[in-house]
């Protein structure tokens, strides 16, 4: 494996590759490459988001994060349709991200729920044909971040400009990396393949209504930053029940441990180190191959942002509550939604049979 190929491995791949070496010198050489890869990733991500903040305003740093994630995802993942149609699809996805979160924040809770259902469902259908690739995680995360960190006036104008530039960058990388792939399926097929009897469609519906309903509940209960609960639910809402149960098992305890470690670091480390705890969380996440430890270190990054707003104690309690509530709700929703959907499919089939008989 070349140096460049080794840099392309994910955390689990790198750790597995390092473990395959018995010679201590070789092992440490590849550990060094792994650490260098993490440093490069953090440095590039930090520089990219900082540049976006300078150009489009500090309040739009979330746009830089979303664009960066989209570029990283769609340089490897496609939509399973003709590349020209996929390139157009990226602009449609970014248009939804530009309009949907803003509109949902302007509307009353009921209409905001309808807006979320429509926009999230469109992002699921347009952006996640192959559920194994998990494209939806990036797109829905961006949607929730824009909803939670809303801007108005000139800030929103800059956000639109930042998203347009982001769409150009993402589409350019997407086309460059996938232009040689040949698909017969077109943009229209994404909607034609929507079928209630399809496992993919059922999961897309479950995901959409899980996130939209929990955002509605959080809004009606006046829970601060409903998007945090939405992100927790999104993280555990997997296509397969076993995968989801495994994530639910780690989500709450992982954030509790992350909160305890953050609290200890906050008091033990020198004053003014708060901003660096977010970076520490990013490094920890990069070093973690398991979902449980990724959850622990993700808490660092989130708490570093939340503490100046809510205070240390409130931020930790809110973080733990949001993740426990979001993950348990998602688990329960799946148990209720699956039989309900089965009943609906049976009802639709019965109506179709009667109609055909007539």
Band (pLDDT 50/70/90 cuts) for residue 277 is confident
CB 213 within 8 A of CB 121: no
With H, G, I as helix, E, B as strand and everything else as coil, classify residue 305. Answer: helix
CB 310 within 8 A of CB 319: no
Q: Which of 174, 142, 173, 172 is nearest to 159 (CA)?
A: 142
Cβ burial, residue 160 (10 Å; 0-12/13-18/19+): middle
φ, ψ (nearest 5 deg) of residue 347: -65, -45
69-76 own/partner pairs: CB under 8 Å, 24+ apart: 69/138, 69/141, 69/142, 70/138, 70/139, 70/142, 70/166, 70/170, 71/169, 71/170, 71/173, 73/133, 73/135, 73/138, 74/135, 74/170, 74/173, 74/174, 74/177, 75/173, 75/174, 75/177, 76/177
Q: What tens digit of pLDDT does each residue of 252-262 get?
A: 888 899 888 88
Q: What is the pLDDT of residue 9?
A: 61
The 3-state DSSP class for residue 270 equals coil
Given phi > 0 = left and psi -120 to 50 = alpha, else beta, which region is 267?
Answer: alpha
∠ CA 243-252-322 to the nearest 5 degrees?
Answer: 110
Quickly count helices (H) and strands (E) in the chain. 15, 0
Q: Are 17 and 9 in contact (CB under 8 A)?
A: yes
* pLDDT per position as a tens digit, 292-303: 888 888 887 788
pLDDT at site 135: 81
Residue with tokens 């929703």: 333
Q: Are 77 and 135 in contact (CB under 8 A)?
A: yes
Lowest mean pLDDT: which of 74-88, 147-161, 284-298, 327-341? 284-298
What is the tens place of the pLDDT at every residue in 59-104? 998 999 899 989 988 988 888 899 999 999 999 999 999 999 999 9
pLDDT digits (tens, 9 = 90+) for 197-227: 888 899 999 999 999 999 999 999 999 888 8
Q: How high is the pLDDT of residue 82?
A: 92
Which residues, 6 or more positions from 17, have their beta carbon under 8 angstroms from its beta carbon? 1, 6, 9, 30
């Amino acid at each position: 494996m070349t140096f460049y190929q080794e840099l392309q491995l994910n955390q689990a791949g790198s750790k597995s590759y390092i473990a395959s070496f018995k010679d201590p010198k070789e092992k440490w050489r590849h550990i060094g490459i792994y650490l260098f890869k993490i440093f490069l990733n953090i440095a590039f991500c930090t520089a990219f988001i900082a540049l976006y903040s300078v150009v489009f305003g500090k309040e739009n740093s979330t746009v830089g994060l979303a664009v960066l994630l989209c570029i990283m995802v769609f340089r490897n993942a496609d939509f399973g349709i003709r590349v020209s149609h996929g390139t157009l699809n990226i602009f449609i996805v970014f248009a939804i991200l530009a309009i949907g979160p803003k509109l949902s924040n302007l509307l009353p809770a009921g209409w905001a729920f309808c807006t979320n259902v429509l926009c999230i469902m469109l992002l699921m259908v347009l952006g996640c044909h192959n559920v194994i690739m998990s494209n939806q995680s990036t797109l829905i995360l961006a949607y929730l971040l824009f909803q939670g960190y809303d801007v108005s006036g000139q800030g929103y104008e800059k956000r639109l400009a930042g998203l347009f530039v982001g769409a150009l960058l993402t589409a350019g990388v997407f086309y460059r990396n996938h232009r040689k792939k040949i698909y017969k399926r077109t943009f229209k097929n994404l909607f034609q393949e929507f079928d209630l009897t399809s496992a993919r469609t059922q999961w897309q519906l479950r995901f959409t209504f899980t996130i939209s309903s929990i955002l509605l509940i959080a809004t009606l209960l006046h829970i601060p930053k409903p998007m945090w609960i939405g992100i927790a639910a999104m993280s555990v809402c997997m296509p397969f029940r076993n995968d989801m149960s495994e994530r639910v098992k780690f989500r709450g305890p992982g954030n509790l441990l992350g909160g305890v470690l953050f609290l200890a670091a906050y008091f033990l480390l020198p004053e003014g180190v708060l901003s660096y705890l977010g970076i520490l969380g990013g490094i920890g996440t990069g070093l973690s191959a398991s979902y449980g430890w990724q959850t622990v270190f993700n808490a660092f990054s989130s708490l570093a942002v939340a503490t100046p707003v809510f205070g240390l104690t409130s931020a930790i309690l809110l973080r733990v509550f949001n993740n426990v509530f979001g993950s348990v709700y998602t688990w329960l929703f799946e148990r209720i939604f699956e039989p309900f959907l089965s009943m609906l499919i049976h009802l639709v089939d019965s109506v179709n049979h009667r109609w055909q008989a007539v």
